[in-house]
């Protein structure tokens, strides 16, 4: 895309933040340009080309912009800078460092460097002179907080290169030359710790991208036990406002078995983003005991920022995730909320006067969402190491309508569906994930089934299916009891209902304020599920439904105490003995 002379143009029309530019030369889709606003230069991206008329979406307010204003095209696509110093940063959708910006409100046309150019990093070489390398090969590493940050051959390189020289261990800035490589024509190319990559192009610097098969432990029982997501898997959390989407994402961010956490607040309300900024630096990382923010990057675009920047934020977040995946790291990427990203797409589509789809969303909404979700995944790198991006987005359907276009399009792209239920949220059942409507398609994969059998237990899948059946039978029994009354159904209906309530209270619900119950490792999840299913298999003696109710409430209370006790501690074992005593009272 390199051109000798920059293409220029003039503003020919303005529709909010969509600007029509008449150009005097070639331009490319997604190319960046700057509009010479009277106050400062405004950054924009090409989204449609019609002959000499080019439509660009401006990442700022266009107030005061006039027809005839000069425009200069940069000759490169919308891109991010990749290098040490990305972690612990708060960026906007264009990778501007928000902490470097002045004032409460962001100034129009104020762009900042995403990296610290002055800081010196402790460089250790990995490759050596004479090595043959390709795009994504590791040259060396620097410690970034608690993470080994690998410096790689730029992703844009094609073919094989030979390392001519590489600097010795020592301290260097990101702009210092750390290696010189020679291409097939004999040309020498100097490499620094920084590279740039277009955000809307997937990074493919890996050897193989198989179907994900390893279970990603999130510490949340209702996810890991009933509907697990894999390392490199995709999932989404739809639900009405106030059902706990953001809270659940924060819990996964904190406890998931991942090396890197990236949060894309792509259009959330400002107060929710402020909570992320203020809470994350205070959270302790359960893996390292240090601050969670040390392995976290936040991309923030609140709902009152321009729609174009809101759209860019999800792509920026995914590109940063692909960069860390290429280092052989496990990345968890959270997007909250992709509904507002879709709304940004709708606004621009309407301004372009494109043919509208359902609810005026773009006709190709499903294709856009699917291609974005496809960038997540588990990969094997060229050196045999593996890395992954696990992507979980939230969807905020208007009025809680899960049949609206964004939810339906996302359902086709994501493999895990974690539907939040308003009734469960109102009754303070956290997480409010509907256990019957939610699903994980990864349970259908033979490689995932094999992994679960080998690493968790031979009967694990059978127990999961049995649990889901008990929950369904309990719901049916509850409906009968509600219609016919407590006295109008046989005792077995009450037992079915309480078996499902037992699973709900002990397995599905979790106390995020309790130090122990907030994070439940897989060995403990396996033990608790087997214990609960063991109880549901037993035959107890009852004469009235009041006896059923009272007995199961005692059982639930005892199992909850086990959830709150340290694993296999004296307190834990005491509650186990008390549980056995309660059950023995009514065993046949």
* Residue 574 annotated as part of some ligand binding site: no
Phi then psi dihedrals of residue 11, to 5 deg: -65, 125
**Which residues have CB under 8 Å from 434's CB, separation 6+?**
419, 420, 421, 424
| Alpha helix (H) residue ranges in 485-540 | 491-503, 522-537
Angle at 573 between CA 571 and CA 577, to 5 degrees: 115
The H or E element containing residue 103 is none
C-beta atoms surrounding 527 within 10 Å: 14
Report the alpha-carbon distance of residue 262 to residue 265 in Å, rounded.
10
Pick the closest to residue 374 from 444, 322, 451 (CA basis). 322
C-beta atoms surrounding 204 within 10 Å: 13
The two structure tokens encoding residue 141 = 């590493």
Angle at 345 between CA 65 and CA 156, to 5 degrees: 90
* Residue 321 annotated as part of some ligand binding site: no
Report the alpha-carbon distance of residue 110 to residue 141 in Å, rounded.
32
* Residue 239 annotated as part of some ligand binding site: yes
* Residue 246 annotated as part of some ligand binding site: yes
Pick the closest to residue 512 from 435, 438, 429 (CA basis). 429
* Residue 488 annotated as part of some ligand binding site: no
Asked whether the beta carbons of 505 and 555 are under 8 A apart, the reply is no
Q: Is 547 left (phi over 0), alpha (psi -120 to 50) or beta?
A: alpha
Pick the closest to residue 388 from 518, 260, 538, 240 (CA basis). 260
What's the burial of 132, exposed, middle or buried (CB within 10 Å: 0-12/13-18/19+)? exposed
Asked whether the beta carbons of 68 and 78 are under 8 A apart, the reply is no
What's the burial of 208, exposed, middle or buried (CB within 10 Å: 0-12/13-18/19+)? exposed
According to DSSP, the residues that pair with 34 across neighbouring strands are 43, 72
* Residue 242 annotated as part of some ligand binding site: yes
Q: Which residues are annotated as a binding site for ATP?
A: 239-246
Q: Which residues are annotated as a binding site?
A: 239-246
């Amino acid at each position: 895309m390199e051109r000798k002379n920059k293409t220029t143009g003039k503003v020919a029309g303005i529709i909010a933040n969509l600007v029509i530019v008449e150009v005097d030369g070639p331009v490319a889709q997604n190319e960046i340009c700057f509009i010479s606003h009277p106050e400062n230069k405004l950054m924009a991206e090409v989204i449609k080309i019609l002959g000499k008329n080019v439509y660009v979406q401006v990442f700022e307010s266009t107030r005061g912009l006039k027809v005839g204003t000069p425009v200069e095209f940069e000759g490169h696509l919308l891109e991010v800078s990749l290098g040490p110093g990305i972690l612990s940063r708060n960026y906007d959708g264009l990778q501007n460092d928000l902490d470097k910006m002045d004032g409460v409100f962001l100034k129009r046309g104020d762009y900042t460097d995403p990296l610290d150019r002055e800081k010196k990093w402790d460089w250790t070489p990995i490759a050596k002179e004479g090595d043959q390398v390709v795009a994504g090969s590791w040259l060396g590493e620097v410690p970034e907080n608690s993470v080994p940050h690998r410096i790689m051959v730029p992703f844009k390189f094609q073919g094989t290169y030979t390392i001519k020289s590489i600097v010795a261990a020592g301290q260097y800035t990101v702009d210092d030359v750390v290696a010189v490589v020679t291409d097939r024509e004999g040309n020498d190319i100097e490499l620094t710790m920084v590279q740039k990559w277009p955000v809307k192009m997937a990074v493919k610097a890996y050897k193989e991208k198989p179907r994900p098969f390893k279970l990603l432990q999130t510490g949340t029982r209702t996810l890991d036990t009933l509907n697990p997501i894999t390392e490199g898997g995709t999932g989404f959390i739809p639900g009405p406002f106030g059902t706990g989407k953001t809270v659940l994402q924060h819990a996964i961010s904190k406890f998931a078995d991942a090396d890197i956490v990236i949060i894309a607040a792509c259009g959330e309300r400002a107060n929710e983003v402020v909570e992320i900024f203020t809470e994350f630096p205070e959270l302790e990382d359960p893996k390292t005991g240090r601050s969670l923010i040390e392995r976290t990057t936040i991309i923030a675009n609140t709902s009152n920022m321009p729609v174009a920047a809101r759209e860019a934020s999800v792509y920026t977040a995914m590109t940063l995730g692909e960069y860390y995946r290429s280092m052989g790291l496990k990345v968890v990427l959270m997007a909250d909320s992709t509904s507002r990203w879709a709304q940004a797409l709708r606004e621009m589509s309407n301004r372009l006067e494109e043919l509208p789809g359902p609810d005026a969303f773009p006709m190709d909404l499903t294709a856009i969402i699917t291609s974005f979700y496809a960038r997540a995944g588990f990969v094997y790198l060229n050196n045999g190491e593996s890395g992954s991006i696990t992507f979980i987005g939230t969807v905020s359907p208007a009025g809680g309508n899960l049949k609206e276009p964004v939810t339906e399009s996302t359902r086709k792209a994501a493999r895990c569906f974690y539907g939040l239920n308003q009734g469960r949220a109102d009754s303070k059942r956290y997480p409010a994930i509907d256990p019957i409507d939610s699903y994980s398609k990864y349970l259908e994969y033979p490689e995932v089934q094999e992994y679960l059998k080998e690493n968790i237990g031979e009967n694990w899948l059978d127990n999961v299916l049995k649990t889901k059946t008990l929950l369904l039978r309990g719901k049916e029994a509850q409906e009968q009891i509600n219609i016919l009354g407590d006295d109008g159904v046989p005792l077995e209906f009450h037992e079915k209902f309480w078996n499902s309530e037992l699973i709900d209270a002990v397995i599905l619900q979790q106390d995020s304020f309790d130090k122990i119950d907030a994070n439940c490792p897989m060995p403990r999840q396996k033990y608790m599920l087997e214990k609960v299913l063991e109880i549901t298999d037993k035959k107890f003696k009852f004469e009235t439904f009041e006896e059923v109710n009272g007995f199961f409430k005692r059982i639930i209370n005892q199992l909850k105490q086990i959830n709150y006790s340290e694993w296999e501690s004296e307190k834990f074992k005491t509650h186990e003995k008390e549980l056995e005593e309660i059950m023995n009272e009514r065993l046949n």
